Amino acid sequence: LQEFISITVRDPRVYKQDIWHMYLDYEICLETNSMCFRKKWSSVRRRYSEFVWLRQSLQQNALIMYELPKLPPWLPFFHLRSPEQVALRMKGLQMFLELVVQSPLLLSDSRLHLFLQSKLSVGRMERCAQGRTRYTVAEAIHRSKELFSLRMVWCGIFESILISDMCIAIVPDNR
């Protein structure tokens, strides 16, 4: 059986923090039979800023030995409700992750695994990777499975808006 790692970036959601501040996150679905991953299937939600953190973290680990793939550019006038801009960014984020998981060096970085398979914030991922938490990387990944089940109970409160063929949900920010 040939090893595979399949990553999909999908389901963009817009969150309102208050009247003026909104942000977008994306669902990252991972399916694999690779021994490198603890879970064979996972789903997490991440913001663009978390992708930026991941790339910077991986670059520190790789040093000059490996040139990391680029992220789609940050656009000062990125329009959260523009299906074309959102779709283009999603495609770029997916390409970034697909290239990252092809590198054995980058696959050995625990921050990549926490990013793809845990619900931890950037700060907690960093502390966990440095061994400065009461839980291990494996425990953080395993624990996120339980949180995923709890989160599914709340799915009914999302208000969805259909924009062309892409669904963008607007939900209150309860993080």
Q: How many helices and strands (H and E) does the chain possess?
A: 6, 5
Domains and CATH numbers, the chain: 5-172 (3.30.1520.10)
pLDDT (0 to 100) of residue 30: 97
Average pLDDT over residues 148-158: 38
Question: Mean pLDDT across the chain, nearest whole number?
Answer: 82
User: CA-CA-CA-CA torsion for 41, 44, 48, 52, nearest 10 degrees?
Assistant: -70
Average pLDDT over residues 106-118: 96
Average pLDDT over residues 4-10: 97
pLDDT bin (cut points 50, 70, 90) of residue 154 is: very low
- Triad 92, 5, 47: Cα angle to 5°: 40
pLDDT bin (cut points 50, 70, 90) of residue 78 is: low
Residue 46 has pLDDT above 70, yes or no: yes
**Regarding predicted confidence, which is higher, 174 or 21?**
21
> pLDDT digits over 48-67, tens only?
999 999 999 999 877 766 78
**Regarding predicted confidence, which is higher, 171 or 48?**
48
pLDDT bin (cut points 50, 70, 90) of residue 136 is: very high
H or E element, residue 168: strand 166-172
- pTM of structure: 0.80
Residue 159 has pLDDT above 80, yes or no: no
